[in-house]
A and B are shown apart, each in its own frame.
Chain A
Amino acid sequence: MKHSDVIIIGGGLVGMTLALALDRHGLSSAVVDAADLPATIAPGFDGRASAIASASARMLRAIGLWEAIEPHGCAIDEIRVTDGLSPLHLHFDSRDADTGPLGYMFENRVLRTALLAAAAQAANLSVHAPARTTAVERGATGARVTLDDGTVLAAPLVVAADGRRSPLREAAGIRVGQWRYPHTAIVTMIEHERSHGGVAFELFYPSGPFAILPMKATGDAAPGTRSAIVWSVGSDDAPAYLGLPPRALAAEIAKRMGGFLGEVTLIAPATSYPLGFHHAESYVGERLVLVGDAAHGIHPIAGQGLNMGLRDVASLAEVLVDGARLGLDLGDPQLLARYQTWRRLDNGLVASVTDALNRLFAIPGRPAAAARRLGLAAVERIPPLKRFFMAEARGETGDLPKLLQGLTV
């Protein structure tokens, strides 16, 4: 039997970051993943890119991951939100305030590569992958996880970081509130003629948002000429778009961009993700906590999904490190309750704002469009509102855990 402080089921972006944050504070984890993790960094496995809000970036710095990823990141200096191609826009410009970028764009592959390399070096971390769990037992005095190769892991706490379908959450009987949007996200990468200048564009169309997210150019491409596309289309229309030859799809994309970045070429195959919303009714069970997509999933409109998961990591790491120093059982219901209270309200807030935003922009017709434009213009002109949205984009609302302030616990 192998003992550790926590057993983390799911070594995705959230689960692995948690394991490393704990390692930095001397807490040990056993990470179990059903996937062959080195395969998850092969080109083509996950073509998505993620926005890392500046608070999340501070945590990655504090736990020593930043150096490896920084050269591959693109700073987001400004976010422009517009109703379609309307010239009236809301923009959040970090250069106004001189407080550093709002966030950074990374390919998920870059993040995964850095996490796996750090995990291989970490003293208090063991990775079991690919491995399936054949039994997960949680009881009064501890938890035990049996793997299909016969390994038995023991710890006072099990963390479910096993993604949005979380088998662990299901088995624990924790219910989720959820719905599907009638939309699908088409995700791809483009090269364009003119520089994005560090601006993230969110264009709202009745079928959903169209996001152009600035990426660091690769190879000998001119700086600023690569962007990630997250394009929400009606689910019924998705197969038709995905069936288009690359040039034709590039033309569709260029049409929605209104040509402001010049000529567009597709540089990655387009993939699609059904869009949904889910929120677990509870983040905790007996010797169990949920983090990341296992606990919540939102519309990718605001690029906050992973950031919410990283905020879970920062809070849970702080709760566990504090608890360990007090000598508490890490499965103590009080510790778990502290984590749940800290995170659930904040996540619920982000989730409902995102959902409302998405619904608001999905209402067709001219009056609705006029109201939206007025709304955007209002936020633009009212500094406190604007500051709130800026802080949200940076991931700086709520009671900030130490790691998100760039400090260790």
Chain B
Amino acid sequence: MKASEAPAPAMTDASIDPREVALFGGIAAEWWDPKGSSRLLHAINPARLAYIRGQALDHFGRDERARAPFGGLRALDVGCGGGLLCEPLARMGFAVTGLDAAPENVAVATRHAADMGLAIDYRAGSAEALAEAMPGGFHLITCLEVVEHVADLGAFLGALERLLAPGGLLVFSTPNRTPQSYAVLIVGAERVLKTIPEGAHDWNKFLTPDELTAALRTAGLSVRHVTGLGYALSRGFAIGGDTSINYIGAATRA
């Protein structure tokens, strides 16, 4: 789908970039095909989930051997796509809301969750609008591979801060802006291997950990932990160490 054919987003909010929304809405049907254009997301998912689970276990003091330790807590996944993160979070015991700017994604996610017998509240729209409706509504907010796509970072992070419940936890991940990430994500993954749809990323919009930490602080959030999200041939995707390509971290209210 070309940008010019993209449907206008339901709400015109500062953080939503219509061109970005069109790209990700266009691959909506492929979200759940583990061999399709989302295969990288499927491959990276277990490592990200392990990080989120570990941080949330620590933060909320829950039992690490429990299958669904997060009963009684509400989670929001911002930029939920087809629901690849929402469904596991729901199985972990969270009451989950999934938010995405593209209505096509929300439609795919809603249908898939129903097929899987999971109750997840999916909504199309912006973080700013949801913050109006449900301020302080979520104990956990996940925002993975989203900040590099938003048009107005300050407005977006401010909305996340308003959505977070007192004592809540934010987990974010995003590509770093380094020569390595350019080589791996733009040249390697998008152009050569085509494991990421071409044009999915604008390298100039990538943030370094320091830049993102500063932007979060401005929004009233304080980063507690940052680590790398890397790829090793032997183990696949794994958390830890090198942050030069992609990093993941956790923040709480300052």
On A, residues with C-beta under 8 Å from B are 3, 26-27, 140-142, 323-329, 332-334
For residue B6, CB closer than 8 A to chain A, the reply is: no
Distance in Å: Cβ of B82 to nearest Cβ of chain A: 13
Distance in Å: Cβ of A297 to nearest Cβ of chain B: 30
Asked if A334 and B112 sit within 8 Å, CB to CB, the answer is no
For residue B58, CB closer than 8 A to chain A, the reply is: no
Asked if A26 and B67 sit within 8 Å, CB to CB, the answer is yes
Asked if A328 and B46 sit within 8 Å, CB to CB, the answer is yes
Asked if A325 and B87 sit within 8 Å, CB to CB, the answer is no
User: A26-B67, A327-B92, A334-B43 known; 20 other A-B pairs, CB under 8 Å?
Assistant: A3-B117, A140-B32, A141-B115, A142-B115, A323-B46, A325-B92, A326-B50, A326-B53, A326-B88, A327-B87, A327-B90, A327-B91, A328-B46, A328-B49, A329-B87, A329-B116, A333-B34, A334-B34, A334-B45, A334-B46
B22-51 contact mask (Cβ, 8 Å, vs A): 1 or 0: 000000000010100000001101100110
For residue B185, CB closer than 8 A to chain A, the reply is: no
B93-134 contact mask (Cβ, 8 Å, vs A): 1 or 0: 000000000000000000010011100000000000000000
Q: Which of A326, A328, A334 has the most CB of B within 10 A?
A: A326
Contacts of A140 in B (CB 8 A): 32, 115
Within the assembled complex, what's the spacing in Å between the Cα atoms of A326 and B42? 13
On B, residues with C-beta under 8 Å from A are 32, 34, 42-43, 45-46, 49-50, 53, 65, 67, 87-92, 112, 115-117
Asked if A324 and B34 sit within 8 Å, CB to CB, the answer is no
Q: Which of A3, A26, A141, A326 contacts B49 (CB 8 A)?
A: A326
Contacts of B91 in A (CB 8 A): 324, 327-328
Distance in Å: Cβ of A22 to nearest Cβ of chain B: 11
Q: Which of B42, B53, B92, B115 contacts A334 (CB 8 A)?
A: B42
Q: Please name 7 pairs of A and B residues whose Cβ atoms are closer than 8 Å in the assembled complex, sorted by A.
A: A140-B115, A141-B115, A326-B50, A326-B92, A329-B87, A332-B42, A333-B34
Asked if A327 and B89 sit within 8 Å, CB to CB, the answer is yes
Measured CB to CB, the nearest residue on chain B to A409 is B65
Measured CB to CB, the nearest residue on chain B to A26 is B67
Within the assembled complex, what's the spacing in Å between the Cα atoms of A3 and B118? 13
**How many Cβ-Cβ contacts under 8 Å join chain A to chain B?**
46
Contacts of B45 in A (CB 8 A): 328, 334
Distance in Å: Cβ of B248 to nearest Cβ of chain A: 15
Measured CB to CB, the nearest residue on chain A to B114 is A141
Contacts of B88 in A (CB 8 A): 326-328
Q: Which of B46, B65, B90 contacts A326 (CB 8 A)?
A: B46
Contacts of B32 in A (CB 8 A): 140
Distance in Å: Cβ of B249 to nearest Cβ of chain A: 19
Within the assembled complex, what's the spacing in Å between the Cα atoms of A166 and B89? 36
Contacts of A141 in B (CB 8 A): 112, 115-116
Asked if B34 and A325 sit within 8 Å, CB to CB, the answer is no
Distance in Å: Cβ of B107 to nearest Cβ of chain A: 16
Within the assembled complex, what's the spacing in Å between the Cα atoms of A332 and B115? 15
Contacts of B67 in A (CB 8 A): 26-27, 324-325
Q: Which of A27, A327, A329 has the most CB of B within 10 A?
A: A327
Q: Which of B34, B53, B87, B90 has the most CB of A within 10 A?
A: B34
Within the assembled complex, what's the spacing in Å between the Cα atoms of A334 and B46? 9
Contacts of A328 in B (CB 8 A): 45-46, 49, 88, 91
Within the assembled complex, what's the spacing in Å between the Cα atoms of A288 and B45? 21
Asked if A142 and B116 sit within 8 Å, CB to CB, the answer is yes
Within the assembled complex, what's the spacing in Å between the Cα atoms of A195 and B236? 53
Contacts of B34 in A (CB 8 A): 332-334
Contacts of B89 in A (CB 8 A): 327
Measured CB to CB, the nearest residue on chain A to B92 is A327
Measured CB to CB, the nearest residue on chain A to B89 is A327
Q: Which of A141, A323, A325 has the most CB of B within 10 A?
A: A325
Distance in Å: Cβ of B89 to nearest Cβ of chain A: 6
Contacts of A323 in B (CB 8 A): 46
Within the assembled complex, what's the spacing in Å between the Cα atoms of A141 and B67? 21
Contacts of A334 in B (CB 8 A): 34, 42-43, 45-46
Within the assembled complex, what's the spacing in Å between the Cα atoms of A320 and B128? 38
Contacts of B49 in A (CB 8 A): 326-328
Measured CB to CB, the nearest residue on chain B to A335 is B46
Measured CB to CB, the nearest residue on chain A to B42 is A334
Contacts of A329 in B (CB 8 A): 87, 116
Distance in Å: Cβ of B109 to nearest Cβ of chain A: 13
Distance in Å: Cβ of B56 to nearest Cβ of chain A: 11
Contacts of B50 in A (CB 8 A): 326
Contacts of B87 in A (CB 8 A): 327, 329
Contacts of A3 in B (CB 8 A): 117
Distance in Å: Cβ of A367 to nearest Cβ of chain B: 44
Measured CB to CB, the nearest residue on chain A to B69 is A325
Contacts of A327 in B (CB 8 A): 49, 53, 87-92
Closest 5 CB pairs of A and B: A327-B88, A327-B91, A141-B115, A326-B49, A327-B92
Contacts of A332 in B (CB 8 A): 34, 42
Q: Which of B50, B67, B92 has the most CB of A within 10 A?
A: B67
Within the assembled complex, what's the spacing in Å between the Cα atoms of A142 and B42? 17
Within the assembled complex, what's the spacing in Å between the Cα atoms of A333 and B35? 10
Within the assembled complex, what's the spacing in Å between the Cα atoms of A25 and B141? 28
Distance in Å: Cβ of A350 to nearest Cβ of chain B: 23
Measured CB to CB, the nearest residue on chain B to A140 is B32
Distance in Å: Cβ of B157 to nearest Cβ of chain A: 26
Distance in Å: Cβ of B132 to nearest Cβ of chain A: 29
Within the assembled complex, what's the spacing in Å between the Cα atoms of A262 and B65? 54
Within the assembled complex, what's the spacing in Å between the Cα atoms of A334 and B50? 15
Contacts of A333 in B (CB 8 A): 34
Within the assembled complex, what's the spacing in Å between the Cα atoms of A333 and B115? 18
Distance in Å: Cβ of B145 to nearest Cβ of chain A: 18
Measured CB to CB, the nearest residue on chain A to B34 is A333
Contacts of B90 in A (CB 8 A): 327
Distance in Å: Cβ of B229 to nearest Cβ of chain A: 15
Within the assembled complex, what's the spacing in Å between the Cα atoms of A142 and B45? 20
Contacts of B43 in A (CB 8 A): 334
Measured CB to CB, the nearest residue on chain A to B43 is A334
